Chains A and B, each alone.
Chain A
Amino acid sequence: MDRKVVIPGDLLSEDAKRSGEGTFVKDGQVYSLLYGLANYRDKINVIPLAGKYVPAPGDNVIGVVKDITFSNWIVDINSPYDGLLHISEYPKRIESDEMSKYLRIGTSVMTRVKDVDPTMKVELTLNDRKLGMIKTGQVIEISHTRVPRLIGKGGSMISMLKKELNCNIFVGQNGRIWINGSADDMDLALKTVLLIEKEAHTNGLTDRIVEFLKKEKEARS
C-alpha cells in the first residue's frame, strides 16, 4: 500500500524534489505538515483528515447569503473567510437597491471562486451556466477533506454516482453538496454520500460504492 498515517513533523523523504501538498522542506528533507495520510507518488502529498476549507481560485463552492451590502452579497462558504459576490458578477444587470429581490439573505447559491487576494478577500462569481441560486433539491454538508474522494480520480466516482442515482449533483469544494432528483433517489444519494464520507480514507472505494448501490437498488425493487 502506498499510503501511511503521518503526523506533523514526520520525515517523508530525503529528496527535496518530492515535496508536495501538505509537506515542507527543511535541510533538503521532506517533512509532513499535517496529521493525515501520506500519498507516495512522484510527489509526496499529505491529505489531511480534518481542517477548514481555504478558498482557492476556480473552486466551485456552495454558499449561503448572510448579508447584503451596497454592492456585494456576503456569502458564507463554510470557511474562515466570507465570500463576496459583487453585483456585477450576477448574470443579469441589476440595480443595487434591488439586490435582495434576486438573492435574499438565507438563499443558497452555487458559485465559483473568482479570485482570492493575499489578505484572503474572496471574490465569487455567478457568471456560468452551471452556477446559480438553489431552488430545488437538498444541500448536505461533509468535511471538505473528503471531497476529492467523492469526485474520484478524473471524476470517476461522481460521474458514476450521477448515472446510477439518477440525480443532479453539484459538488462544492467547501464540502457542501447539492443533490436534485426524485425523493427516493435523493434519499439513496444522501446515504451514499455519507457512506463515502465515512469511508473516504479506505482503498477501492468506487467498487464498493457500486456494489452498495446495486444492493440498495435490489432491496428497493
Chain B
Amino acid sequence: MIAMDESNISFFKDGCRLDGRKADQLRPLKIEVGVLARADGSCYIEMGGNKVIAAVYGPREVHPRHLQEVTRAIVRYRYNMASFSVEERKRPGPDRRSYELSKVSREALEPVILTSYFPRSVIDVFVEVLQADAGTRTAGINAASVALADAGIPMKSLISSCAAGKVADTIVLDPMKEEDNFGQADLPVAMTPNGDITLLQMDGGLSPAELHEAVEMAMNGCRQIYELQRKSLVDKYSQLESLSQVPEQEAEACD
C-alpha cells in the first residue's frame, strides 16, 4: 500500500471530493432483495466500494437452549468481514471490532422488531462483508433491515443507516476509505424513517455545532437510503408479478 502522508493530503479538488462527489452526496447505492435461496430473508447491498450480504434466519428454535427468553424472541447479529475484504488480509474470525459492531448493529435493529410475537425463539442475522470501503456497519444495518422485512418478520419500520465525517474541517456525507482513514471524524447514524435514532457513534472529534451539522447530514443520507430500501422491496414484488403474467382485465379477487 502506498503510504499516504497524513499532513499534506488534499480531500477536495475544485469543490469536489476525491471520487468526484459533493460534500453532501451519497456514494452510488445498489440493493438486491432475496439473493439467497436457503435463507428466510436476504439482501445484497453495494454502497460505493462496500459489498455486503445479509441473511436472516428465523424465527427458529434457540440453540443453545439457555439463551432462550420465555416472553420474546432474541435477536442475534453476526457481523463478519471476509479475509479478502480489505487490502491487507484480515485474520479471519471474530475479533474485538466485530464483536462491538455486532452488538451496536443488533441494538440498532432490535427496537423496531416485534420480538414479543415469537416467544422462545431466535432471529438470526448474519452480515458478511465481502469488500470493505469505510462504512461497512452502516451498509450491514441497511442490508439486515431489508433482509428482515424480506423474511416476513414484523417490524415497526425499516432502519436506514449512514455515516457523516469530517475531513479538512468540512463535514461530509458517507465518507469513503481515504476520508475515513485520514479524516478528522467519523459519525455513523442509524434511524427509523421518522427520525428516531437507534445508533449513534463517533470516532474522532467534533465541536457541538459540527456534531449537529453532521447528524443532520447523516439523517438526510438515511432518508435517501430509506427510499432505495423501500424501492428494492416493492420492485421485488413487481418482479414476481410480471413473472406470472397477470392479465389486466381481471376484476374478481379471491382469498
The answer to whether A120 touches B237 (Cβ under 8 A) is no
**A residues near B229, Cβ cutoff 8 Å:** 7
Assess whether B18 is interfacial by the CB under 8 Å rule.
no
Assess whether B41 is interfacial by the CB under 8 Å rule.
yes
The answer to whether A33 touches B234 (Cβ under 8 A) is no
Cα(A153)–Cα(B255), bound, Å: 5
Cα(A36)–Cα(B153), bound, Å: 11
**A residues near B136, Cβ cutoff 8 Å:** none
What is the chain B residue whose CB lies nearest that of A153?
A: B254
What is the chain B residue whose CB lies nearest that of A200?
A: B255
Q: What 0/1 pattern do residues 148 to 159 of B give for CB contact below 8 A with A?
A: 011111111110
Q: Chain A nearest CB: distance from B51 CB in Å?
A: 23
Q: Which of B157, B192, B247, B251 has the most CB of A within 10 A?
A: B157
What is the chain A residue whose CB lies nearest that of B156?
A: A9
Cross-chain contact of B154 among A3, A8, A153, A202 (Cβ < 8 A): A8
Interface residue stretch chosen among B58-66, B78-86, B162-170: B58-66
Q: Which of A142-187 contact B (CB under 8 A)?
A: 145, 148-149, 152-153, 156-157
**B residues near A199, Cβ cutoff 8 Å:** 244
Assess whether B37 is interfacial by the CB under 8 Å rule.
no
Interface residue stretch chosen among A12-20, A49-57, A92-100, A132-140: A49-57
Assess whether B14 is interfacial by the CB under 8 Å rule.
no
**B residues near A120, Cβ cutoff 8 Å:** 118-121
Q: What 0/1 pattern do residues 232 to 253 of B give for CB contact below 8 A with A?
A: 0110011011001011001111
Assess whether A90 is interfacial by the CB under 8 Å rule.
no
The answer to whether B152 touches A51 (Cβ under 8 A) is yes
What is the chain A residue whose CB lies nearest that of B155?
A: A8
Interface size band for B:
35 or more
Assess whether A198 is interfacial by the CB under 8 Å rule.
yes
**A80-B244 contact, Cβ under 8 Å, with A22-B154, A120-B120:** no
**A residues near B246, Cβ cutoff 8 Å:** 202-203
**A35-B112 contact, Cβ under 8 Å, with A80-B60, A119-B119:** no
Majority secondary structure, B binding face: loop
Cross-chain contact of B151 among A50, A149, A152, A205 (Cβ < 8 A): A50
The answer to whether B154 touches A33 (Cβ under 8 A) is yes
Q: Chain B nearest CB: distance from A201 CB in Å?
A: 7
**A207-B234 contact, Cβ under 8 Å, with A7-B158, A119-B120, A202-B246:** no
Q: Chain A nearest CB: distance from B253 CB in Å?
A: 5
Q: Chain B nearest CB: distance from A186 CB in Å?
A: 24
The answer to whether A119 touches B70 (Cβ under 8 A) is yes
List 7 tightest A-B contacts by C-beta distance, closest first.
A51-B152, A9-B157, A204-B250, A50-B152, A8-B155, A35-B149, A33-B154
Identify 17 residue pairs between A and B in the complex whose beta-carbon atoms are under 8 Å apart, listed by A's number.
Answer: A26-B156, A33-B155, A33-B156, A35-B149, A36-B152, A50-B40, A54-B118, A80-B60, A119-B71, A120-B119, A199-B244, A201-B240, A202-B241, A203-B246, A204-B247, A206-B254, A207-B252
| Residue positions of B touching A, CB distance < 8 A | 40-41, 58-61, 70-71, 112, 114, 117-121, 149-158, 192-194, 229-230, 233-234, 237-238, 240-241, 244, 246-247, 250-255
| Residue positions of A touching B, CB distance < 8 A | 2-3, 5, 7-9, 22, 24, 26, 31, 33-37, 39, 47-52, 54, 80-82, 118-120, 145, 148-149, 152-153, 156-157, 198-199, 201-207
